[in-house]
């Protein structure tokens, strides 16, 4: 089991509930959402053994937070900080208060903290040093470090100095800068690092269209952008997709390809693919084939992948010739 400072908050919560017993845990579950219960249950199920020092540390941390929250409810944050400083010292008291206040309210620049440093840098690097310093002050330390390192040397020093000297900032100024940055990030569709499009997206789309539509698109791309067309073709049908072929098509493929390629290709194939191949061989051929594979020596992974690609290319050629059919979403795959 890892040390308590290497655990996530949810893992700590799982260990806490285990330590408190099933009755207490059941009572806590009543106050959680379904998705929270599901994730927490998975973490609890994954715990195999908890060292006594780890359990003690987590129980102590929970006690500190519970006491601090009670102080806040009784006399506010300043009162809680003052009492905790006397009890656990200044640094520890500050850390506890920061954890609680972060959970009680949404800090400014929440959207920025969910964006990559490169995206934020793109929008703030031409701002004045004071604005950059303000934004970095609200980001996570790792994000701020990467952005600061990417700034020009003179600007980097100026921003670092301004961060160090920064005190209370007018909330209206903070809100104004946050709104501008948020609008820029949102307009660039960078929230949560979400991505759209790309090769995988077009492959998924083309895999769902009828064969004539797919062929028309790829033929046009082959003329205007042959490298892109070739890359899409490679991803359209992968070796594991052999299970999508009917028995007649698989038998035709087995007759057309080199047996040495098939032996190599099956080295890393799934059981489903192997079963599909073997059941379309004669019993004698299947037994001989599997025996040869069993006694064959080790091979390079690159050789296996190249053999699989050669088989895929042959399958594509057979389809282009109309000899076999690869199941797709379109109506021209219906056999009559």
The whole-number pLDDT of residue 52 equals 78
Q: Which CATH class is domain 110-193?
A: mainly alpha
- pLDDT of residue 168 exceeding 70, the answer is no
CATH of domain 237-333: 1.10.220.30
The whole-number pLDDT of residue 99 equals 61
**Nearest CA among 277, 288, 287 for reference residue 245:** 277
Confidence bin at 247 (pLDDT 50/70/90): very high
Instruction: Parse the chain into domains and list their residue ranges.
Output: 4-104, 110-193, 237-333
Whole-number mean pLDDT of the chain?
Answer: 76
- pLDDT of residue 69 exceeding 80, the answer is no
DSSP label of 104: H
Distance between CA atoms of 150 and 241, rounded to whole angstroms? Answer: 44
Q: Are 202 and 232 in contact (CB under 8 A)?
A: yes
Helix (H, G, I), strand (E, B), or coil: what is residue 270? coil
The least confident of 29-33, 194-198, 311-315, 325-329 is: 194-198
pLDDT tens digit sequence for 126-165: 889 888 888 888 888 788 888 888 888 788 888 888 887 7
Query: Structure tokens of 69?
Result: 């929250």
Tell me if 110-193 shares its fold with 237-333. yes
pLDDT tens digit sequence for 283-302: 998 888 888 888 878 888 88
Diameter over CA atoms, the chain: 85
The whole-number pLDDT of residue 177 equals 85
Confidence bin at 334 (pLDDT 50/70/90): very low
Query: Structure tokens of 46?
Result: 């994954």
């Amino acid at each position: 089991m890892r040390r308590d400072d290497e655990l996530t908050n949810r893992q700590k919560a799982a260990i806490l509930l285990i330590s408190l017993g099933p009755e207490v845990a059941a009572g806590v579950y009543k106050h959680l959402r379904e998705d929270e219960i599901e994730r927490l249950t998975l973490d609890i199920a994954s715990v195999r053994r908890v060292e006594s020092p780890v359990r003690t540390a987590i129980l102590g941390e929970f006690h500190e937070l519970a006491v601090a929250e009670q102080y806040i409810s009784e006399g506010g944050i300043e009162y809680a900080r003052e009492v905790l400083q006397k009890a656990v010292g200044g640094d520890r008291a500050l850390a506890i208060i920061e954890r609680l206040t972060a959970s009680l309210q949404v800090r400014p620049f929440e959207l920025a903290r969910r964006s990559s440093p490169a995206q934020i840098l793109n929008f703030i690097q031409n701002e004045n040093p004071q604005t950059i310093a303000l934004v970095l002050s609200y980001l996570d330390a790792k994000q701020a470090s990467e952005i600061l390192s990417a700034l020009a040397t003179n600007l980097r020093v100026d921003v670092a100095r301004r961060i160090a000297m920064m005190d209370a900032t007018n909330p209206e100024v903070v809100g104004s800068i946050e709104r501008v940055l948020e609008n820029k990030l949102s307009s660039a569709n960078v929230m949560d690092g979400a991505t759209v499009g790309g090769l995988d997206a077009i492959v998924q789309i083309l895999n769902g269209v009828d064969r004539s539509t797919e062929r028309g698109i790829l033929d046009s791309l082959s003329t205007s952008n042959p490298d892109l067309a070739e890359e899409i073709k490679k991803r359209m049908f992968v070796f594991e997709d052999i299970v999508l072929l009917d028995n007649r098509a698989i038998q035709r493929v087995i007759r057309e390809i080199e047996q040495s390629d098939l032996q190599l290709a099956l080295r890393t194939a799934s059981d489903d693919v192997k079963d599909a191949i073997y059941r379309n061989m004669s019993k004698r051929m299947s037994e001989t084939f599997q025996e040869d594979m069993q006694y064959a020596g080790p091979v390079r992974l690159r050789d296996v992948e190249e053999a699989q690609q050669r088989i895929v290319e042959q399958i594509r050629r057979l389809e282009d010739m109309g000899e076999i059919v690869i199941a797709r979403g379109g109506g021209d795959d219906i056999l009559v």
